[in-house]
Chain A
């Protein structure tokens, strides 16, 4: 078990170094950063001084080593546009994105699992058919369109919810949260639903398909022959067996939720990392882009690792194969 976890962790580090190479190479190929930072009338001597202070004169390998070394300590340099350390910028905006992503995932998991279980158990009811139809919409309509439509309905027409921003936030240490104020919660509803809708339909369809599959297995038939209550069979036996693949997908999707929060954050002007990234792209602010790339990769890799470990907790069969294989 420990050996398994260690091996996965080493693999994860390998992936991060590969991503680091890509992030670093952005600096080399996306134009001269000094030109981005200075005005038209900066003299050549000043340019050279900036170049030297940023270490851009050193050999590539040295620069890369320095970059990775700094990245490992979460130092990603100074943003060209804000003239502030990238890490500070990201940390400042991280709570907004994480809160949004976590709320979206909780929304997607809870409603996705409930709808999936319902439509598997009452396959022919009109509500199950409605869920199927809604899920088709959720899976085929692009996120930004749903966001814009919701803004039109709930903000412009009905005026119930704010159309942009995060509302009032409360500071808890370095973390800022919108979960403790009414305006913060109201501002969270639409972005979270918009961001979670795709995952919700995905989870719903997955749960439905898996549950139908599990209900056909011998051990469910045997559970019925043992005279267990319908509730015990559906929620004790069938649902738990259904959740193994659902955990994987939901876990891996959490990475995409953070990565694709870019679109939702742009639509709702949500002050998170995604919005920062979009602004960075517009201004060719490479340190931010590179740091964002590294961070999203780190989140993906971490989630993969956690999902692998979670697996062995849910499914006892993996526990023994894992310890036997190492």
Chain B
């Protein structure tokens, strides 16, 4: 097997606060292969965005990466000096943020922002960069790009602005794109277009995509694999069909149960009782145990580590009963 584009091992992110250190990410590991789309789901505050930001090296103080390793195509990037990390941002890792309305500088033409980014990373002349910018705008589906390139961000609609943001993220042909809730701020009809755009770009360029969202529908449509995060840990990770059809972790089961079906049977949607713990009060053992219907003594004492279970990997003591299957 070839080396994964992104490999995160036992990542820990801490935030120093007045009431002590809060651990937002506590031992997260996952890989993304070339051309693969990994969906990352979870409730607000589960650590999805923080994971994305630590990969691209944009965790701001008081936050810091406290442990673990991040490798980009074999190169360890979590401890690079700021200037070297800056060169990787935008060139080898592209990022798409949630709100396209505020992601672009309102005072600069979109073309100037794209040209600026291209020329920061690639050794191109002004004209060549401009031509490339027009091609990029065409590629992300902006009509009449040679005219629109001289428009200001406020002259674009939300969906069009998100396309510009995507063009900016891919302008230096990155190996990895981190999309942090790229569709949350958009209309439903536009969401589908943006999702298929991201998917197409990933396929055409062999770009690995880390898609952070809390929308299971988006994940099911786009992703090859999915990681379910809860309270700063990966609860379950595996191929998207398997995790959606046959979730193993009680939390993942709860999440899948909360998706309405098109068939429209009158069943009430399942609700997971309680809410996610605050970072300052994460329970001992499995952080999900107070909300879990299947919790037993071990869950309240010992933190579960990820166990391989077929194509999936799940961090739950319920599956630790058959040692033969966990031997991987």
Contacts and interface: CB of A to CB of B under 8 A. Distances in A.
Contact of B105 (A227, A237, A320): A237
B116 A225 contact: no
B298 interface: no
Interface stretch (A141-149, A158-166, A181-189, A215-223): A215-223
Nearest to A220: B105
A227 B86 contact: yes
A228 B99 contact: no
A221 B56 CA distance: 12
Contact of A219 (B104, B154, B172): B104
A227 B165 contact: no
Contacts of A218: 97, 99, 102-103
Nearest to A316: B152
B120 interface: yes
Nearest to B91: A227
Contacts of A222: 95, 97, 103-104, 165, 168
B111 to A, nearest CB: 13
Given A316-B152, A316-B154, A320-B154, A225 B107 contact: no
Contacts of A224: 58, 86, 89
B120 A229 contact: yes
A230 B168 CA distance: 18
A228 B117 contact: yes
A227 B88 contact: yes
A145 to B, nearest CB: 40
Interface string B72-95: 000000000000001111110011
Contacts of A314: 107
B103 A227 contact: no
A217 B95 CA distance: 16
B155 interface: yes
B90 A226 contact: yes
Given A218-B99, A221-B97, A222-B97, A227 B121 contact: yes
A132 interface: no
Contacts of B121: 227
Contacts of B152: 316-317, 320
Contact of A225 (B87, B90, B106): B90
A228 B169 CA distance: 12
A137 to B, nearest CB: 31
Interface in A212-271: 217-219, 221-230, 232, 236-237, 240-241
A226 B117 contact: yes
B116 A219 contact: no
A230 B89 CA distance: 12
Nearest to A227: B90
A315 interface: yes
Given A222-B168, A224-B89, 12 more contacts: A218-B97, A218-B99, A218-B103, A225-B97, A226-B89, A227-B87, A228-B116, A237-B105, A240-B107, A315-B107, A316-B109, A316-B152
Interface of B: 56, 58, 86-91, 94-95, 97, 99, 102-109, 116-117, 120-121, 152, 154-155, 165, 168-169, 172
24 contacts: A217-B102, A219-B103, A219-B104, A219-B106, A222-B97, A222-B103, A222-B104, A224-B89, A225-B56, A225-B58, A225-B90, A226-B90, A226-B117, A226-B168, A226-B169, A227-B87, A227-B117, A227-B172, A228-B90, A232-B116, A240-B107, A316-B106, A317-B152, A320-B152
